[in-house]
Amino acid sequence: MVSPLPVSVVIVAKNEAHNLPRCLASVQSWTAEIVVALNDTTDNSEALAHTFGARVHQLAWQGYRDTKNAALALATHAWVLALDADEEVSAELRSSLQAFFARADRDQLAGARFPRKVWFIDRWITHGDWYPDLSCRLFRRDRARWGGDAFVHEKVECDGPVVTLPGDLHHYSFPTLSSHVAKINPFADLFVRQQQARGDGFSIAAAVIRPCWRFFRAYVVKRGFLDGYPGFYIAVSTAFGAFVRYSRLYEAENKQAPRTSTEKHG
């Protein structure tokens, strides 16, 4: 029997019982430890995680970045494989990770990145803004932390060399088109908070130019047209999402209460 890889899989989740079995099955038996950190969970995620041999902890939500950093402290191995509940390690990526841990220079490295591939509507998306989406998810706990913005777009920041591995991390982020549309406003909320925290105000130039550029980059420069109609939808929705974010920022800076009839005529 092959020994499990000396790595802690760390997953932060909330009400992900519909996704966890697929994610946990993809790392069960060949990793030394699985840690699931739950926050304000009301479904049967905890019971499901235990059936896969995971250690389950409850964590208070501190934002994406800080909650994920808190979860790292729950791991017991030097190397961590950080996953989201809606992700799955593909067979090819599993082979790449096993080859990585066989490297003689492994402990001279701080981490490893690999592509993340999204299943959307009827196909894997392999072009445009969504692919390859290289993500550093394997890293040494003593040489890496979750960084980036406190509100959104957290990412692993490594102190040392990071290598790129073949094999896709499968991502089932949007089970329906409606679920994708529903994300536009929550991300706009985070964008407004982010811009306000930075002291960055609304710009009409950015509101016009950025959506146009986002469509052109996704559909033409990054060849989103090769993904058929889903590729076209992604490019359009990416542009529209940018437009909504800047419009929401304008609203936050300029919204006023309606004038009463007395004010109008007084």
Q: Are residues 118 and 193 in the same domain?
A: no
pLDDT digits (tens, 9 = 90+) for 217-263: 999 999 999 999 999 999 999 999 999 999 999 999 998 778 776 66
Q: Which domain holds residue 212?
A: 177-254
Does the pTM surpass 0.75? The reply is yes
Q: How many domains does the chain have?
A: 2
pLDDT digits (tens, 9 = 90+) for 87-129: 999 999 999 999 999 999 998 999 999 999 999 999 999 999 9
Q: Are residues 130 and 208 in the same domain?
A: no
Phi, psi of 61 (to 5 degrees): -75, 125
* Domain presence at residue 77: yes
Q: Are residues 117 and 222 in the same domain?
A: no
pLDDT at 263: 62
Give 71's contacts (C-beta < 8 A, 6+ positions apart).
Answer: 10, 11, 12, 35, 37, 57, 59
Q: Which two tokens stand for residue 134?
A: 């290289």
Q: Are residues 35 and 9 in the same domain?
A: yes
Q: Are residues 157 and 196 in the same domain?
A: no
> To 10 degrees, what angle do helices 228-254 and 204-216 make?
170
* Residue percentage of the chain with pLDDT more than 90: 87
